[in-house]
Amino acid sequence: MSIEATPITSAQLVAEVTKLKAEGYRLVTMSSVEIDPENMEILYHFDKDLALKNLRLTLKKGGSIPSISGILFTAFLVENEIRDQFGVTFEGLVLDYQGRLLNDCTQTSESSPFCRLLVKSSGTVAKEVR
């Protein structure tokens, strides 16, 4: 099953997101999908009056694209997560954890804000297995 999405390029991204914001859309989230060993897609999911609109951007793994966090601040969190998991660089990211948003650690004041932990049904915490 494929998702209905408008294909865009990285050069079109900022203008398209700016337009959607002006039309009253809000960012719901972003999804990243591996297409093959070299390529991936980032899907941008927006909502207005319970109607979804999606943008699809295809890029090379480890590539670079503009950040939309300057337009929609909350995007910084998902952009940092995609950076950590797929190595994508978001140019102009307003809050850049520099690849340390998710960390294999115990949280301390010097670590990332989120650690990769898995909560078991017994209530104990164990490291996530990838």
Retrieve residue 11's tokens: 């050069």
User: Is it the case that residue 117 has pLDDT exceeding 50?
Assistant: no
Identify which of 7-11, 87-91, 105-109 has the greatest average pLDDT: 7-11
47 φ, ψ (degrees, to nearest 5): -135, 140
What single-letter DSSP state applies at residue 130? -
pLDDT digits (tens, 9 = 90+) for 79-98: 998 998 888 999 999 988 77
Shared domain check, 75 and 45: yes
Q: Give the residue-averaged pLDDT of 120-128.
A: 49
Taking a C-beta distance cutoff of 8 angstroms, is the pair 71, 17 a contact?
Answer: yes
Tell whether 75 and 124 lie within a shared domain: no
Q: Do 110 and 85 belong together in one domain?
A: no
Domain annotation covers residue 15: yes
**Contact between residue 119 and residue 127 where contact means Cβ atoms under 8 Å apart:** no
The tally of domains found in the chain comes to 2
82 with 118, same domain?
no
pLDDT per residue as tens digits for the range 31-68: 999 999 999 999 999 999 999 999 999 999 989 999 99
CA distances in angstroms from 82 to 48, 60, 121, listed in the order given: 24, 13, 27
Q: What is the pLDDT of residue 41?
A: 96
Do 118 and 88 sit in the same domain of this protein?
A: no
Residue at 123 is within a domain: yes
pTM of the model: 0.77
Q: What percent of the chain has pLDDT over 90?
A: 63
Indicate whether 1 belongs to any domain.
no
The reply to whether 94 and 114 lie within a common domain is no
With respect to residue 51, please indicate whether it lies within any of the assigned structural domains. yes
**CATH of residue 10:** 3.30.460.80
**Share of residues in the chain with pLDDT > 70 (%):** 75
pLDDT (0 to 100) of residue 119: 44
Residue 39: C-alpha distances to residues 87, 108, 129 (Å): 12, 35, 24
Per the prediction, the chain carries an average pLDDT of 84
What's the domain range around 79?
Answer: 6-99
Please, which residues have CB within 8 angstroms of residue 53's CB and are 6 or more apart in sequence? 6, 20, 25, 45, 46, 47
The answer to whether residues 90 and 126 belong to one domain is no
